[in-house]
Amino acid sequence: MTAFAAFLGDKVERYIELRRSLGYAFNKQAGTLRAFVRYVERSQLGAPATRTMALDFVLSFGDTANSRAVRHGVLRRFYEYLAVYDPQTEALERRAFSRSRAIPPPRILSEAELASLIDACSFISPGIPLRGRTTATLIGLLASTGLRSGEVARLDRGDVDLTNGVVIVRKTKFRKDRLVPVHQTTQAALRRYARERDAVFPKPKGEAFFLSSRGCRLSATGLQSNFAKARKLAGLDNGKPLRPHDLRHRFAVTRLRLWHQQRADVQALLPLLATYLGHASYSDTAYYLTGSSDLLAIAAERAFLDGGAA
């Protein structure tokens, strides 16, 4: 390792430790900074840390506009810290990369499409059946609870009460824990997966509930990869892209659609749904009201009928 890369690596680790001591999870940011150190080493770059160095690193990913802006922002704040130890460090421009504020609309799967996606999981890796079973169970849990994919991947065995049908979600997006009751069918699917998982790995390497084919915790990368394979096998790659997070949207939209059809007081029930989903405010949950055209149609029809009744 070059002297500059070694110096940079030491400061990165100290910076990560500092941010975590302040209460930040700092996982993705740490990954970006460590990747930057590897880039500097691989490219045999010398001191000081420059704007060009940061720009070339960010552009080497060829990612979306938002991803580039996020990575550059992580580096910009680290450069400010690094300048304390190396005054020659160049300050990075705050708006070197513009962010796109357009949020891609979610793809709301029909019941038939969701069933097709889950069925396709068994064909992901026929030689390693547990991989398909893990993906199918995980997709079913996402669809039936609205959990975030990261929350599901972080679940430990002790977080899943297979007897009472309750999942404990720890360290959520807003660093709070919450209890998520699950339906009996979901509870049964989780029990079935646990039996198959334990039959393959009777001596687990850790406490993770969802395992990779190697018996370790299923990583975010592994989750995304398996999801993409199942999506392709199910014939869902055409048209609007499908992401794991879309299953969270689907859960919220389905619940809101049902409440509208039942003529329930949706505004009064939104705080309950917000708590279940782990939102900081029920106004965040209200965003899902615009999640699908049929939901808007139901809401509009109800508003018309209620207005006529008045």
Active site residues: 148, 173, 245, 248, 279, 288
- Give the tokens for residue 65: 């506009």
Alpha helix (H) ranges present in the chain?
3-21, 27-42, 51-59, 65-82, 111-120, 129-145, 149-153, 184-200, 220-233, 245-261, 266-277, 282-286, 293-309
User: What distance in Å separates the CA atoms of residue 72 and residue 75, rounded to the nearest whole number?
Assistant: 5
Q: Which two tokens stand for residue 114?
A: 């969701």
- Cβ atoms < 10 Å from Cβ of 121: 24
Q: Give the separation between CA 121 and CA 301, rounded to whole angstroms.
A: 38
Lookup: tokens for 121: 């999981």
